[in-house]
Amino acid sequence: MLLELLQISPLLIVTFVGLLTMLVGAFAPAGSFKGWLGYLTGFGFLAALVAIWWLWDRTPVAFESPWLSNALRFDAFGLALMAVIAVGGLLTTLTAIHYLPAQRSDHAEYYSLVSFSVLGMMCLVTANDLLTLFIALEVMSIAVYILAGFKRQSPYAIEAAMKYFILGSFASALLLLGIAFVWGVTGAITLPDIARVFAFGNVEEGLGLEGVAHLGMVLILGAFAFKIAAAPFHMWTPDVYEGAPASVSGLMAVAVKTAAFGALARVLLTCFGDDQFREGAASWETLVAILAVVSMFGGNLMALAQKNLKRVLAYSAIAHTGYILIALLAAPAVADGTLTLNALGAGLVFYLLAYTLANAAAFGVAAAIGANDNEDASDPSYSGLAYRHPALAVVLTISVLSLLGIPVTAGFIGKLTIFSEVLQSPTGDYLWLVILAVINSIISAYYYLRIIVVAFMKPEVQPVETVTSRPLGWSLGLAAALTVILGLIPSSTLEVAHEAGRSLVHSTTPGLIGAAPVDKAALPSSAAAPRPVEAETALKDAAQEVARP
């Protein structure tokens, strides 16, 4: 029991910090500075990071008791994304510490809500059954709805929260319907079980039940497409990013998206990753590719004429959803015996990290210019930033270049990894997709450059006043520095990302099991090297016993 508590320590730490801040904050005098709770929250995330680091060598973590092992799966992928989320949470929390007082919204609840939403995200990326997934999603979402409207005296913030909430609830209902269908036809709620059912043809052929499962898959995909802001499910993004406080927009842009992507990847690759499932319908790869293309073009094109930093970043976030969706298709082959398994590449995790760093920095700058209750992040509010605050301008530039994918930034390595992995993908020839992505990068250059133009090359319209704050500086410095460092020496991080990706093994060989830890015994030994067909039947038989108790 104690071991298991240690094993889920990242979750516990975050929960504990959330509760602590809530309780302590309740006793703090009204109107006093609550930033120290932010430090506390930050330390919480640091501690969580340490815990994740400790757990890293123990992946996949073997939970003994059934209630945990069904609900959660701590594999390299989940841990890596938890780490990314924690980093995102840390960076955005640090920006909030002095930003919130400047926005006259310095309440203790902010930090507990951040902690709880991060808890939701962490559960989301490690959720092993669809129910936990749903609850985790709701924990994250509802906390973020509230955070979006946290500056409640601002009509913009409240309006943003309201919009986000209505759309979010709608998407939740869709997700739930999808879950209902998937569970209904498979009778399984945990991801490995669902995968097994699909893999071994337990959804009887000819009965049309696969169709229902496909429906479920599409509904789940649609709901997640909303969360990751893929076009045309993206409509909320610009308004909400613009209206919400900058630190919250940052959290939404980095951590929420990371979590949603993690869950989506896990669901798609584990449950629906098997070729058996793909029969009789367009594969989710096609749908994802289409979403990617639409998101890239939609985000980038709509961003062109934007004159507000937060809004530009929102559209850029939509476009990036497109790039990251491509990473879902990047599944290089991993040879395993005579069978070839496909695992997710390093691209997704690495790109999410790079994206987290860049956006945390960019929204950090957006927060920095939010002094004196200034909510506006439109051009005049940071025009000529470089004259008075060169460091902020440099950070903004680095983050923007990283988003654009210019070398010596993490964003470049991320794009490079995604593109090269997706070109090796065995599930299809995605050269066209890569070329479209590149064309989109070109389009995006225009509005990213505009940000640099405004910050560096335009004169000051009004004196740019910024939130001067040491934690903000740490956050920005850390994000920018990591962006450059990861751009220069990404090797070890890439290795980690690789390992994370590899833990999401799925198969393009019919009948091979999906996400469950690959059971070496069940696999035909390479020495015997039976024919694939035989191996298949043998496997099917073996697994059917497992699937049907």
Partner 1 sequence: MFEQIFFWLLSGGAIVTAAMVVLPPTGRNPLYAALALVVSFFFMAGIYALLLAHLMAVLQVMVYAGAIMVLFMFVIMLLNLREDELGTERRTFAKLLGGVAMVWVGLKVALVASAVDNLPAADATTPAMASFGTVEGVGDMLFRQFLFPFELTSILLLIAVIGAVVLAKRTL
Partner 2 sequence: MEALAPTLATPGGGIALLTILVVTPLLGALLLAFIPGDQKTAHRGVSAAISGLVFFLSLPLLTGFDATEPGFQWVEAVPWISALGADWRLGVDGISLWIILLTTFLTPLILIGSTSAITERVREFCINMLILESAMIGTLVATDLLLFYLFWELMLIPMYLLIGIWGGKNRLYATVKFFIYTVVGSLLMLVGVIYLRLQAGSFDYADILAIELTATEQMWLFGAFALAFAIKVPLFPFHTWLPDAHTEAPTAGSVILAGVLLKMGTYGFLRFALPLFPVAMGEFSPLILILSVVGIVYGALVAFAQQDIKKLVAYSSVSHLGFVMLGIVALNQTAVEGAILQMINHGISTGALFLLVGIIYERRHTRLIAHYGGLAAITPVFTTLFLIVTLSSIGLPTTNGFIGEFMILSGTFAEGLPVVRELGLGSWPKLVVLMTVLATTGVVLGAVYMLTMFRKVFFGPVTHEANLEVKDMNGRELLVLAPLILLIFFIGLFPNFFLSKMHASVAALIDRTEPIVEQVRDRERLERRGMAADAAPDIRVAPRRAVADAQAR
Partner 3 sequence: MPSVPLSWYLIVALILFVIGAIGVFTRRNALVVLMSVEIMLNAVNLVFIAFARYRGDMTGHVVTFFVIAVAAAEAAVGLALVLGVFRHRKSVNVDEMNAMRY
Residues near partner 3 (CB under 8 A): 131, 134-135, 138, 142, 145-146, 149, 152, 155-156, 158-163, 165-166, 169-170, 172-173, 176-177, 179-181, 183-184, 187, 189, 238-239, 242-243, 311
Told to check if 536 binds partner 1 by CB under 8 A, we report: no
State the minimum distance, in angstroms, from the CB of residue 543 to partner 3: 20
Q: Which is nearer to partner 3, 204 or 429 (CB)?
A: 204
Query: Following CA atoms 532, 274, 83, 433 in sequence, which dihedral angle do they give, to the nearest 10 degrees?
Result: 100
Binding site for partner 2 (CB under 8 A): 346, 386, 390, 401, 405-408, 412-413, 415-417, 419-420, 423-424, 431, 434-435, 438, 441-442, 445-446, 449-450, 452-453, 456-458, 489-491, 494-495, 498
Among 181, 198, 200, 430, binds partner 1 (CB under 8 A): 181
Q: Which does 542 bind (CB under 5 to 8 A by kind): partner 3, partner 1, partner 2, none?
A: none
Told to check if 72 binds partner 1 by CB under 8 A, we report: yes
Q: Which does 83 bind (CB under 5 to 8 A by kind): partner 3, partner 1, partner 2, none?
A: none
Q: Which is nearer to partner 1, 227 or 506 (CB)?
A: 227
Peptide bond into 66 cis (omega under 30): no
Report the C-alpha gap between 362 and 306 in whole angstroms.
16
Report the C-alpha gap between 271 and 273 in whole angstroms.
6
Instruction: Residue count of the chain, please give it.
Output: 549
Read off the tokens for 111. 């930090």
**Cβ-based burial of 208 (10 A; exposed 0-12, middle 13-18, buried ≥19):** exposed
Sign of CA dihedral 48, 62, 341, 264: negative
Q: Which is nearer to partner 1, 12 or 408 (CB)?
A: 12
Q: Which is nearer to partner 3, 109 or 460 (CB)?
A: 109
Q: Which does 450 bind (CB under 5 to 8 A by kind): partner 1, partner 2, partner 3, none?
A: partner 2
Of 85-93, 130-138, 293-301, 302-310, the segment contacting partner 1 by CB under 8 A is 130-138
What is the separation, in whole angstroms, between the first and last Cα of the chain?
27
Return the half-sphere exposure (C-beta side, CA atoms, 13 A cut-off) of residue 475: 39
Report the C-alpha gap between 201 and 511 in whole angstroms.
8
Q: Which does 99 bind (CB under 5 to 8 A by kind): partner 2, partner 1, partner 3, none?
A: none
Told to check if 22 binds partner 1 by CB under 8 A, we report: yes
State the minimum distance, in angstroms, from the CB of residue 413 to partner 3: 34
Told to check if 112 binds partner 1 by CB under 8 A, we report: yes
**Residue 84: partners with Cβ closer than 8 Å, 6 or more residues away:** 258, 349, 352, 353, 356
How many amino acids of this chain bind partner 1 (CB under 8 A)? 45
Longest dimension (CA), the chain: 76
Among 17, 185, 433, 512, binds partner 1 (CB under 8 A): 185
The answer to whether the CB of 294 falls within 8 A of the CB of 202 is no
**Residue 332: partners with Cβ closer than 8 Å, 6 or more residues away:** 342, 343, 345, 421, 424, 425, 426
